[in-house]
Amino acid sequence: MKLRILLPVLFVAAGAASCAPAADETVLRVNPVVKRQKIEGMGCGAIFYEGHITSLAERGKQTEQEALYDAMFRDMRTDFLHLMIRHDHEPQNDNADPMKAEFKDEWFKYAEHTAAICAAAKKRLPDIKLYATLYTPPAWMKTNNDVSAGGKAHGTIRPGMEPELAEFCYAFLAWMHRHGHTVDYLSIANEPDWEHTQPGYWLAPDAHAELFAKVAAGLKQMARQQPGMPVPKLVGPNTLSAPGCAAKWLPPLLRKAGRDLAVVGCHDYDRRGDRWAVLTKAAGGRPVWCTEWSVNAKDESPELIRSAPEYWLAMTEAFNGGATAWMAYDWVYPPRPGGEALIHVDWGNAFTLTKIYHGYRQWCLPLQPGMQVIGTSVTGTGASDFSKPGIKASAFVSPDGKRLVVHAANVQDRAAKLTVRITGAPGGAVQRLRTSASENVSVLPPGALSGDKLDETLPPRAMMTWLFGYPSGFPGIPQR
């Protein structure tokens, strides 16, 4: 499981909580004329706990299993399913020729859970894209002869093993393809910049770039030997730090493997400054994805209500900074006092939807690939710098300009008065959705602009969505 402490989750003291509105208002200004990047969508991962996701069926509870899948892929609208490539499927070298894959089916036992999850997702979201990340090569490929990243000892790939690693990734892609699940995107490493002891491998920036180029070449060569086998688009460098990605990892990757790098992706656990704008500038026109984020801190609040708005804080900063896709870390964890996952599954028994789930659902439901981020600004008492408590907001417009989505989160433990000002919004009633300590994607009475103004009061740690140009009765699952 993820156990990292870099920057603290930014909660204010619980004693500050109050249901009374703040004395001074905050103003959120939305300008649909200021159009920025088009988005590619939202995603979430089946990482580490794939067996928990499928555990209800393992116990013969098929009705409960389908209910879990409905919660994940019918009631939630996402565009990417992030998969974990484990080290298991080559416990020993298949042969001495990395261009001749001879992998045994029993080595892929773990991937049967992955395939089942993919099948459930595609049944409900036929257009969902699969994105796979290799966490670590097998131990025999590594300098520390262990699946751990080695901490400060830097367990990394052995010299000369680059073709074997390409074959290892290809074997997973081929197995998934044979089972009806073509992987669309691939990362060859997970947080190669982090000195940790979980499954992984450390790579210096230049070493990562060289490995990336060699794996890309190997994948293309092996695919030519198997007509009809697609080669996924490559995402990198998939570092823990976005500032570090822009400054250290991306420049050598662009120099040595720029033609093979389709997407610049990284995690968001180093939340210094306007990191996404810096990374977007460094990406040279490539799409920029947040490939993972979660709340790592302990959270014992009811239903994880303290963690839920922190997701909106992170998502808002990413999209306002130029990101085109954003992915929550994990769909499922066992029950625990932490904000890493959207759903808790007591293996084989039952599942629980957290406030993180409900807030993420509210965010994702109205957003569609192709929408554009538009200009927003927050001023007044609720305004704050990056990664700090306060009012966070972002907005999106449909390609035809007829639908407008405005999200705002009150990431603090007191209520806030908020004035929303919108220039040129689509006409008609304003559909209003809210998730708070007592609400889960609640449909509030429609609102109406008074001129260009809409007044609201946001409860503590509440997430609010305004939908302009949407039919009444929303939310529903958009037809895809």
Read off the pLDDT of residues 387-398 as tens digits, 9 standing for 90 and up.
Answer: 999 999 999 999
DSSP 174: H
What fold, for 17-36+372-468? Immunoglobulin-like (2.60.40)
Q: What angle do CA 472, 476, 480 make, to 5 degrees?
A: 120
Task: Identify the band that residue 475 occupies on the pLDDT scale cut at 50, 70 and 90.
Answer: low
Quote the strand ranges of 73-225, DSSP E: 80-85, 129-134, 185-187
What SS3 class is residue 290?
strand
pLDDT at residue 291 tops 80: yes
Banded model confidence at residue 226, pLDDT cuts 50, 70, 90: confident
pLDDT at 15 (0 to 100): 33
Measure CA of the first residue to CA of the last residue in the chain; give whole Å: 34
Question: For residues 46-77, b (16+ Cβ closer than 10 Å) or e, as one string?
Answer: bbbbbebbbbbbeeebeebbebbbebbbbbbb
Axis-axis angle for helices 111-124, 62-73 (nearest 10): 60
pLDDT tens by residue, 244-280: 999 999 999 999 999 999 999 999 999 999 999 999 9
Lowest mean pLDDT among 47-56, 163-172, 220-229: 220-229
Instruction: Taking residues 368-379, report their average pLDDT.
Output: 97
Cα gap 108→106, rounded to integer Å = 5
Q: Answer whether residue 465 shows pLDDT above 60.
A: yes
What residues contact 21, with CB distance under 8 A and at least 6 apart? 415, 416, 417, 457
| Residue 5 confidence (pLDDT) above 60 | no
HSE-CB of 341 using CA atoms within 13 angstroms: 26
Distance CA 349, CA 340 (A): 20
Closest C-alpha among 280, 84, 40 to residue 199 = 84
Percentage, residues of the chain above pLDDT 70: 94
DSSP annotation of 110 reads T
Interatomic CA distance for residues 112 and 442, integer angstroms: 37
406, 422 Cβ separation under 8 angstroms? yes
Asked if domains 17-36+372-468 and 40-364 share a fold, the reply is: no
| Pairing relationship of beta strands 288-292 and 325-328 according to DSSP bridges | parallel
Token pair listed for 217:
């070449």
**Residue-level pLDDT at 2:** 55
pLDDT at 51: 98
DSSP structural state of residue 13? P
Q: What is the rounded distance in angstroms from the CA atom of residue 190 to the CA atom of residue 292?
A: 10
Q: How many CB atoms lie within 10 A of CB 438?
A: 11
* Total count of residues recorded for the chain: 480
Q: Which helix (H) or strand (E) holds 169?
A: helix 162-178
Q: Average pLDDT of 328-351?
A: 97
pTM: 0.94
Q: What is the pLDDT of residues 323-334, one digit of tens each?
A: 999 999 999 999
Q: Judge whether 202 and 192 are in contact, CB under 8 Å.
A: yes
**DSSP string for residues in 314-382:** HHHHHHHHT-SEEEESEEEE-S-SEESEEEEEETTTEEEE-HHHHHHHHHHTT--TT-EEEEEEEEETT
Q: Looking at the predicted structure, is the pLDDT value of residue 20 above 90?
A: no
Domain boundaries defined on the chain: 17-36+372-468, 40-364
Whether residue 6 has pLDDT greater than 60: no
**Average pLDDT over the chain, rounded to an integer:** 93
Residue partners of 129: CB distance under 8 A and separation at least 6: 43, 79, 80, 81, 184, 185
C-beta separation of 257 from 213 below 8 A: yes
Topology of the domain comprising 40-364? TIM Barrel (3.20.20)
Crossing angle of helices 205-224 and 162-178, rounded to 10°: 50
pLDDT at 8 over 50: no
Strand partners, 186: 132, 234
Q: What percent of the chain has pLDDT over 90?
A: 89
Of 459, 432, 461, the C-alpha closest to 447 is 432
User: Which residue type is seen at 20?
Assistant: A
